[in-house]
Amino acid sequence: MSLVVPSVDELAAMSPAEVEAVLRELDGARRAAEVAVAELVGRVERAGVFRADGHRTPRAWGMAAANWSWAQAGRVVQVAHMLQVWPSAAGVGVAQLHALAGVVANPRVRPLLADAEELLVGWARTLDFDDFVSALMR
């Protein structure tokens, strides 16, 4: 996959709408890549292939295989688990995806979320990020 970022001169010649279109295209690729990575990690976990190199968890495998930090590897695993439960969350913004995954991973609220997918994923798609996080916290 090759991503094209316009040069400064190319950007100067573009309309604001064209620049925003480039941003939306790159952000779409970023969202798709985040979901694809999480889906891969989820499948690696279900298949148990992370153990082949002696790793005890998919998180440790991701840290070794992709040089992820502890926090980043944890977020990817959380997103993988969340997408298994709420597949409709694929395609929301990366920050919204991480916030949803954190809520789904919380053992105190997980039992209350059985029927919340449509509402919470809908908020992730429609609210600006700060309003979304405020709504999640409530």
Identify whether the C-beta of residue 56 lies closer than 8 Å to the C-beta of residue 90. Answer: no
pLDDT for position 11: 97
Domain boundaries, the chain: 8-137
Write the pLDDT tens digit of every residue in 85-127.
Answer: 999 999 999 999 999 999 999 999 988 898 999 999 999 999 9
Q: Is the pLDDT of residue 1 over 80?
A: no
Identify whether the C-beta of residue 92 lies closer than 8 Å to the C-beta of residue 74. Answer: no
pTM (2 d.p.): 0.90
Alpha-helical runs (H) found in the chain: 8-12, 16-47, 58-66, 70-85, 94-105, 117-126, 129-137
Cα–Cα distance, 65 to 73 (Å, whole number): 10
Using alpha carbons only, what angle is made at residue 59 by residues 80 and 91, rounded to the nearest 5 degrees? 25
